[in-house]
Structure 1
């Protein structure tokens, strides 16, 4: 069978039958476009290549668990999620590293500053564990300051869906804070609750 002649829907069907030739053809068709999308966001070729590779690995690993409508849209969205995830992880590592460097230089940190840094890192960790779309909506809203209509337009989803994702994210964060004995009011008082 010539996989080059298959349309995307046929490739998806073959992919879900664990035919490795399907993932090879999908890669051949879309890797350049996906690399361009990733590079456009992170401006680093190595990181962009890593993002694209990760997307294809996840596509293969989850081939039986995912529902793909339009393959190009699915792949582009997966790249965007991976880019945001990579950026968040790098920022988080940088902040933690800076904290420890500064902590070794000066042991005179006030308890509130340490607590604030801990809470920020804890909440970032909770956000990283959110489902992809939920995390992306939360990131757009709280870190980039986008409005609900702007997020809906950017992600091509309904405003009610954006609201539902935000509600889910905030509930998860509140629940996680309560689980470790921190009230949301205390978190807000330390200016870390976005």
Structure 2
């Protein structure tokens, strides 16, 4: 192979590898039939699955719960559709531990919608997601995508970037959790829960 052709081939190969890395293929981590691949919840009445949808609803004592993946992850892209239900919806996605969460719904402390914002217990909401009011659909399905690389995570709501945050205390590896916040009468539904490891 002549030198110019060889250089072109190497450049093409590198470009393809970068493109593939950037477009990591999302795979199902929720099969839509049961909770296989997830740590069995204590209160199974809070988590029901039917026809591809995970229904999440607080029980009368409002204890709340977190549904964790069995597997731990390092760098990844997580994506799920969610539909707000009844009551004061306060949910979210935990990233590798309970230290970092991307909020879905009403903040218990701020008493307003903070969807797409990071919640860190020591700092509460260190930054606020932008443009959510114009993007969020309260009566229809929304898509939340979270990309986490190292200590930095970025949230996208319905295809639009709304937040980027770098967390000092996020662990290097851990499971992904779906939160059912305690203390509220609420329901929320999830579907098409996907993950791509980077």
TM-score interval (norm. to shorter): under 0.3
Between Structure 1 and Structure 2, whose CA radius of gyration is higher? 1
TM-score by length of 1: 0.23
TM-score by length of 2: 0.23
Which structure ranks higher in relative contact order (CA pairs < 8 Å, sequence separation ≥ 6)?
2
Give the structure with the higher percent strand: 2
